[in-house]
Amino acid sequence: MTGPGAADRIRGRIGAAIIERIAGPPLAARGRPAGVPRGERWFGEDRPIRQVHSDSAMFIGAIRALLLQSLHPLAMAAVAEHSDYRGDPWGRLQRTSHFIGTTTFGRTEEARQAIARVQAVHQRVTGTAPDGRPYAASDPHLLTWVHIAEADSFLRAHSNFGIHPLDKDGRDGYLADMAKIGAALGVPDPPQTEAELADRIRAYRPELAATAEAREAARFLLLSPPLPVIARAPYGVLAAAAVSLLPGWARRPLYLPRLPVTETVLVRPAGHVMVHAIQWAITAPRPAPAA
Protein backbone atom coordinates (compact mmCIF):
# COMPACT_ATOMS: atom_id res chain seq x y z
CA MET A 1 0.00 0.00 0.00
CA THR A 2 1.04 3.56 -0.64
CA GLY A 3 1.22 5.53 2.60
CA PRO A 4 0.66 9.24 3.19
CA GLY A 5 4.38 9.92 2.92
CA ALA A 6 4.58 8.41 -0.57
CA ALA A 7 1.47 10.33 -1.65
CA ASP A 8 3.03 13.56 -0.40
CA ARG A 9 6.24 12.82 -2.30
CA ILE A 10 4.32 12.20 -5.53
CA ARG A 11 2.27 15.36 -5.07
CA GLY A 12 5.45 17.29 -4.37
CA ARG A 13 7.11 15.95 -7.53
CA ILE A 14 4.12 16.94 -9.64
CA GLY A 15 3.96 20.42 -8.15
CA ALA A 16 7.71 20.92 -8.49
CA ALA A 17 7.67 19.84 -12.15
CA ILE A 18 4.95 22.34 -13.01
CA ILE A 19 6.57 25.12 -10.98
CA GLU A 20 9.96 24.59 -12.62
CA ARG A 21 8.49 24.83 -16.13
CA ILE A 22 6.08 27.73 -15.65
CA ALA A 23 7.84 29.83 -13.03
CA GLY A 24 11.43 28.66 -12.96
CA PRO A 25 12.98 27.79 -9.59
CA PRO A 26 10.45 27.33 -6.78
CA LEU A 27 11.49 30.54 -5.05
CA ALA A 28 10.57 32.49 -8.18
CA ALA A 29 7.14 30.93 -8.08
CA ARG A 30 6.65 32.27 -4.60
CA GLY A 31 8.17 35.59 -5.55
CA ARG A 32 9.94 35.79 -2.20
CA PRO A 33 13.72 35.60 -2.72
CA ALA A 34 15.44 33.88 0.18
CA GLY A 35 17.87 35.82 2.30
CA VAL A 36 16.93 39.25 0.97
CA PRO A 37 17.20 41.81 3.79
CA ARG A 38 14.20 43.93 4.54
CA GLY A 39 14.09 47.37 3.03
CA GLU A 40 11.85 49.80 1.23
CA ARG A 41 9.45 48.08 -1.14
CA TRP A 42 6.81 49.29 -3.54
CA PHE A 43 4.11 47.30 -1.78
CA GLY A 44 3.60 46.67 1.92
CA GLU A 45 2.75 43.25 3.26
CA ASP A 46 -0.93 44.22 3.57
CA ARG A 47 -1.36 45.13 -0.11
CA PRO A 48 -3.68 43.00 -2.29
CA ILE A 49 -1.02 42.51 -4.96
CA ARG A 50 1.03 40.43 -2.52
CA GLN A 51 -1.94 38.20 -1.77
CA VAL A 52 -2.73 37.62 -5.44
CA HIS A 53 0.82 37.10 -6.65
CA SER A 54 1.75 34.64 -3.89
CA ASP A 55 -1.26 32.42 -4.67
CA SER A 56 -0.87 29.39 -6.93
CA ALA A 57 -3.91 30.48 -8.93
CA MET A 58 -1.32 32.62 -10.73
CA PHE A 59 -0.35 29.54 -12.75
CA ILE A 60 -3.84 29.52 -14.25
CA GLY A 61 -3.79 33.28 -14.69
CA ALA A 62 -0.46 33.16 -16.54
CA ILE A 63 -1.75 30.67 -19.11
CA ARG A 64 -4.93 32.70 -19.61
CA ALA A 65 -2.90 35.90 -20.02
CA LEU A 66 -0.81 34.39 -22.82
CA LEU A 67 -3.94 33.24 -24.66
CA LEU A 68 -5.64 36.61 -24.28
CA GLN A 69 -2.56 38.62 -25.25
CA SER A 70 -2.19 36.57 -28.44
CA LEU A 71 -5.44 38.03 -29.78
CA HIS A 72 -3.76 41.34 -30.60
CA PRO A 73 -2.15 40.74 -34.02
CA LEU A 74 0.74 43.15 -33.37
CA ALA A 75 1.49 41.72 -29.94
CA MET A 76 1.39 38.20 -31.39
CA ALA A 77 3.66 39.22 -34.26
CA ALA A 78 6.21 40.49 -31.75
CA VAL A 79 6.07 37.20 -29.84
CA ALA A 80 6.29 35.08 -32.99
CA GLU A 81 9.31 36.96 -34.36
CA HIS A 82 11.23 37.74 -31.19
CA SER A 83 10.34 34.96 -28.75
CA ASP A 84 11.54 31.41 -29.34
CA TYR A 85 8.50 29.88 -27.67
CA ARG A 86 8.93 26.60 -29.57
CA GLY A 87 12.59 26.13 -28.69
CA ASP A 88 12.21 27.68 -25.23
CA PRO A 89 8.49 27.29 -24.49
CA TRP A 90 8.74 28.17 -20.80
CA GLY A 91 11.15 31.06 -21.07
CA ARG A 92 8.52 33.75 -21.48
CA LEU A 93 6.45 32.50 -18.55
CA GLN A 94 9.52 32.21 -16.35
CA ARG A 95 10.72 35.71 -17.23
CA THR A 96 7.26 37.11 -16.50
CA SER A 97 7.18 35.21 -13.20
CA HIS A 98 10.56 36.62 -12.18
CA PHE A 99 9.51 40.15 -13.13
CA ILE A 100 6.24 39.86 -11.20
CA GLY A 101 8.03 38.43 -8.17
CA THR A 102 10.70 41.15 -8.16
CA THR A 103 8.34 44.09 -8.61
CA THR A 104 5.82 42.72 -6.11
CA PHE A 105 8.08 41.48 -3.31
CA GLY A 106 11.54 42.89 -4.03
CA ARG A 107 13.12 46.02 -2.70
CA THR A 108 12.40 49.30 -4.48
CA GLU A 109 15.79 49.42 -6.21
CA GLU A 110 15.39 45.82 -7.43
CA ALA A 111 11.95 46.65 -8.81
CA ARG A 112 13.33 49.65 -10.66
CA GLN A 113 16.14 47.57 -12.11
CA ALA A 114 13.63 44.96 -13.31
CA ILE A 115 11.59 47.70 -14.98
CA ALA A 116 14.71 49.08 -16.68
CA ARG A 117 15.68 45.63 -18.00
CA VAL A 118 12.24 45.07 -19.51
CA GLN A 119 12.23 48.52 -21.08
CA ALA A 120 15.64 47.86 -22.64
CA VAL A 121 14.35 44.64 -24.17
CA HIS A 122 11.24 46.40 -25.47
CA GLN A 123 13.38 48.94 -27.30
CA ARG A 124 14.91 46.13 -29.38
CA VAL A 125 11.61 44.41 -30.24
CA THR A 126 10.43 46.00 -33.47
CA GLY A 127 9.28 44.66 -36.82
CA THR A 128 6.47 44.32 -39.30
CA ALA A 129 3.44 42.11 -38.78
CA PRO A 130 2.23 39.74 -41.54
CA ASP A 131 -0.48 42.27 -42.44
CA GLY A 132 2.16 44.91 -43.15
CA ARG A 133 1.71 47.03 -40.03
CA PRO A 134 4.82 48.01 -38.08
CA TYR A 135 5.01 47.16 -34.39
CA ALA A 136 7.20 48.08 -31.45
CA ALA A 137 7.03 46.49 -28.01
CA SER A 138 7.61 49.92 -26.49
CA ASP A 139 4.44 51.30 -28.15
CA PRO A 140 2.25 52.54 -25.25
CA HIS A 141 -0.84 51.14 -26.97
CA LEU A 142 0.63 47.62 -27.08
CA LEU A 143 2.07 47.97 -23.59
CA THR A 144 -1.43 48.79 -22.37
CA TRP A 145 -2.92 45.69 -23.99
CA VAL A 146 -0.29 43.41 -22.44
CA HIS A 147 -0.81 45.05 -19.05
CA ILE A 148 -4.60 44.85 -18.98
CA ALA A 149 -4.59 41.26 -20.29
CA GLU A 150 -2.28 40.25 -17.44
CA ALA A 151 -4.14 42.22 -14.77
CA ASP A 152 -7.49 40.82 -15.87
CA SER A 153 -6.18 37.26 -16.08
CA PHE A 154 -4.36 37.27 -12.74
CA LEU A 155 -7.34 38.80 -10.96
CA ARG A 156 -9.92 36.46 -12.52
CA ALA A 157 -7.81 33.41 -11.76
CA HIS A 158 -7.45 34.50 -8.14
CA SER A 159 -11.16 35.30 -7.83
CA ASN A 160 -12.17 31.89 -9.18
CA PHE A 161 -9.39 29.60 -7.93
CA GLY A 162 -7.50 31.52 -5.25
CA ILE A 163 -7.16 30.27 -1.70
CA HIS A 164 -8.63 33.48 -0.24
CA PRO A 165 -10.41 35.53 -2.95
CA LEU A 166 -10.51 39.31 -2.53
CA ASP A 167 -13.65 41.36 -1.97
CA LYS A 168 -14.62 44.27 -4.25
CA ASP A 169 -12.38 46.78 -2.46
CA GLY A 170 -9.54 44.29 -2.51
CA ARG A 171 -9.91 43.70 -6.25
CA ASP A 172 -9.83 47.42 -6.96
CA GLY A 173 -6.85 47.70 -4.64
CA TYR A 174 -5.06 44.99 -6.61
CA LEU A 175 -5.60 46.86 -9.87
CA ALA A 176 -4.35 50.08 -8.25
CA ASP A 177 -1.20 48.20 -7.21
CA MET A 178 -0.76 46.77 -10.71
CA ALA A 179 -1.24 50.26 -12.13
CA LYS A 180 1.93 51.38 -10.32
CA ILE A 181 3.95 48.70 -12.13
CA GLY A 182 2.22 49.42 -15.44
CA ALA A 183 2.86 53.15 -15.20
CA ALA A 184 6.54 52.53 -14.45
CA LEU A 185 6.76 50.39 -17.61
CA GLY A 186 5.22 53.13 -19.73
CA VAL A 187 1.52 52.28 -19.72
CA PRO A 188 -0.43 55.55 -19.94
CA ASP A 189 -3.14 55.92 -17.29
CA PRO A 190 -3.44 52.20 -16.39
CA PRO A 191 -6.85 51.17 -15.01
CA GLN A 192 -7.19 51.20 -11.23
CA THR A 193 -10.66 49.68 -10.76
CA GLU A 194 -12.58 46.73 -12.17
CA ALA A 195 -14.91 49.11 -14.01
CA GLU A 196 -11.98 50.93 -15.63
CA LEU A 197 -10.38 47.61 -16.58
CA ALA A 198 -13.58 46.35 -18.22
CA ASP A 199 -13.92 49.60 -20.18
CA ARG A 200 -10.33 49.44 -21.38
CA ILE A 201 -10.64 45.82 -22.55
CA ARG A 202 -13.91 46.68 -24.31
CA ALA A 203 -12.15 49.49 -26.17
CA TYR A 204 -9.54 47.06 -27.53
CA ARG A 205 -11.98 44.46 -28.81
CA PRO A 206 -12.45 45.94 -32.33
CA GLU A 207 -8.73 45.49 -33.06
CA LEU A 208 -8.44 41.93 -31.70
CA ALA A 209 -8.28 38.93 -34.02
CA ALA A 210 -6.77 35.46 -33.98
CA THR A 211 -4.00 35.14 -36.54
CA ALA A 212 -2.59 31.82 -37.70
CA GLU A 213 0.35 32.43 -35.36
CA ALA A 214 -2.01 32.96 -32.41
CA ARG A 215 -3.87 29.71 -33.06
CA GLU A 216 -0.61 27.81 -33.45
CA ALA A 217 0.70 29.25 -30.19
CA ALA A 218 -2.55 28.33 -28.41
CA ARG A 219 -2.35 24.74 -29.67
CA PHE A 220 1.25 24.48 -28.56
CA LEU A 221 0.56 25.99 -25.13
CA LEU A 222 -2.55 23.89 -24.45
CA LEU A 223 -1.98 20.60 -26.23
CA SER A 224 1.71 19.90 -26.71
CA PRO A 225 3.91 21.66 -24.16
CA PRO A 226 7.09 19.70 -23.44
CA LEU A 227 6.57 18.29 -19.96
CA PRO A 228 7.63 15.18 -18.06
CA VAL A 229 4.97 12.49 -18.07
CA ILE A 230 4.14 12.99 -14.40
CA ALA A 231 3.19 16.65 -15.00
CA ARG A 232 1.13 16.37 -18.20
CA ALA A 233 -2.25 15.58 -16.68
CA PRO A 234 -1.94 18.19 -13.89
CA TYR A 235 -0.82 20.80 -16.42
CA GLY A 236 -3.83 19.86 -18.55
CA VAL A 237 -6.05 20.70 -15.59
CA LEU A 238 -4.43 24.13 -15.25
CA ALA A 239 -4.75 24.77 -18.99
CA ALA A 240 -8.42 23.74 -19.02
CA ALA A 241 -9.08 26.00 -16.04
CA ALA A 242 -7.40 28.90 -17.86
CA VAL A 243 -9.56 28.35 -20.95
CA SER A 244 -12.68 28.19 -18.78
CA LEU A 245 -11.98 31.77 -17.66
CA LEU A 246 -11.83 33.17 -21.19
CA PRO A 247 -14.95 34.98 -22.45
CA GLY A 248 -16.66 33.63 -25.55
CA TRP A 249 -15.35 36.47 -27.73
CA ALA A 250 -11.81 35.38 -26.90
CA ARG A 251 -12.38 31.64 -27.27
CA ARG A 252 -14.09 31.61 -30.64
CA PRO A 253 -11.24 33.12 -32.69
CA LEU A 254 -8.79 30.66 -31.12
CA TYR A 255 -11.12 27.71 -31.82
CA LEU A 256 -11.43 26.91 -28.13
CA PRO A 257 -14.75 25.24 -27.32
CA ARG A 258 -17.14 26.32 -24.60
CA LEU A 259 -18.40 23.36 -22.55
CA PRO A 260 -20.36 24.91 -19.65
CA VAL A 261 -21.50 21.66 -18.02
CA THR A 262 -18.06 20.03 -18.22
CA GLU A 263 -16.39 23.18 -16.93
CA THR A 264 -18.79 23.50 -14.00
CA VAL A 265 -18.80 19.84 -13.00
CA LEU A 266 -15.21 18.84 -13.78
CA VAL A 267 -12.83 21.63 -14.77
CA ARG A 268 -13.51 24.13 -11.98
CA PRO A 269 -13.39 21.57 -9.13
CA ALA A 270 -10.26 19.97 -10.59
CA GLY A 271 -8.68 23.41 -10.92
CA HIS A 272 -9.31 24.12 -7.24
CA VAL A 273 -7.71 20.82 -6.26
CA MET A 274 -4.67 21.47 -8.43
CA VAL A 275 -4.16 25.02 -7.13
CA HIS A 276 -4.27 23.77 -3.55
CA ALA A 277 -1.82 20.96 -4.41
CA ILE A 278 0.66 23.38 -5.96
CA GLN A 279 0.27 25.76 -3.03
CA TRP A 280 1.19 22.86 -0.79
CA ALA A 281 4.17 22.00 -2.99
CA ILE A 282 5.67 25.48 -2.82
CA THR A 283 5.05 26.00 0.87
CA ALA A 284 8.05 25.26 3.03
CA PRO A 285 7.38 22.24 5.26
CA ARG A 286 6.92 22.86 8.94
CA PRO A 287 9.78 21.76 11.16
CA ALA A 288 9.33 18.33 12.64
CA PRO A 289 8.41 18.38 16.34
CA ALA A 290 11.27 17.76 18.73
CA ALA A 291 11.58 14.20 19.90
Cβ pair 18, 59 in contact under 8 A: yes
> What does the pLDDT read at residue 33?
45
Q: What are 210-232's pLDDT values in tens digits?
A: 999 999 999 988 988 777 777 78
Q: Where are the domains of the chain?
A: 12-282
Percent of the chain with pLDDT over 90: 62
Query: Side chain identity at 127, as an amino acid letter?
Result: G
Q: What are 169-189's pLDDT values in tens digits?
A: 999 999 999 999 999 999 999
> What does the pLDDT read at residue 11?
57
Return d(Cα 123, Cα 129) in angstroms, integer.
17
Q: Which residue positions in the chain have pLDDT lower than 70?
A: 1-39, 84-90, 281-291
Nearest to 101 by CA among 27, 9, 152, 175: 27
> What does the pLDDT read at residue 189?
96
> What does the pLDDT read at residue 55?
93
> What does the pLDDT read at residue 24?
54
> What does the pLDDT read at residue 286?
45
